[in-house]
Amino acid sequence: MKNRLLTPEEVLVLNSLYRIPPAHAHYFELWTSVTNGHAHSIQTFTFPVNGNSTDGHAHTFAGITSLAEGHHHHFEGVTGPAIPLEDGSHYHEIDWKTYDKPFTHKGNAHIPLQNDRHFHIIKVRTTTGLGYEPRFYYLNRR
């Protein structure tokens, strides 16, 4: 059997049969909780998923905090489910924490700081969805 790409007409049929919600992401920014006298800034996006305001979908996220007191923290997690708004859009709540192993940089290497293990709370609401493409954008490009 030979592999082939779907035709635009086949894509339309499959989209109408399966009603796949559009892929999208969310932005969030915050200052973490204060621990050991300092906090870190986070500004990032969730990873995209297909979903809408009523299906209960969640997003994953990951990143590195800003530098504070000579170190950063890694973080990764999962948002809460979609929370619908009256206009049909939605947002997500995040209630997570950074990893408890702060690190610094030497060149491109991450150097763990073993003597000061601590974490910071990440608590924030995301923006509404970003990056929606018009449903037929790619089908009509030539």
The model's pLDDT over 101-138, given as tens digits with 9 standing for 90+, comes to 899 988 888 888 887 889 999 999 999 999 876 554 44
Tell me the per-residue pLDDT of 35-80, one tens digit each, with 9 for 90 and over.
999 999 999 999 999 999 999 999 999 999 999 999 999 999 999 9
What is the predicted pLDDT for the residue at 141?
39
Q: What's the DSSP call for residue 114?
A: G
Tokens 């059997």 sit at which residue?
1
What is the predicted pLDDT for the residue at 133?
63
Question: Which run of H or E residues covers position 43?
Answer: strand 41-45
Tell me the per-residue pLDDT of 87-101, one tens digit each, with 9 for 90 and over.
989 999 999 999 998
CA dist., res. 110 & res. 133, Å (int): 37
What is the predicted pLDDT for the residue at 82?
96
Concatenated DSSP letters for 10-42?
HHHHHHHHH-PPPEEB-EEEEE---BTTB--EE
Q: How confident is the model at residue 140 (pLDDT cuts 50, 70, 90)?
A: very low
What is the predicted pLDDT for the residue at 134?
57
CA dist., res. 60 & res. 124, Å (int): 14
What is the predicted pLDDT for the residue at 135?
52
Tell me the per-residue pLDDT of 2-26, one tens digit each, with 9 for 90 and over.
888 888 888 778 877 877 788 899 9
Residue 97 sits at the vertex; the CA angle it makes with 96 and 103, to the nearest 5 degrees, is: 150
What is the predicted pLDDT for the residue at 128?
94
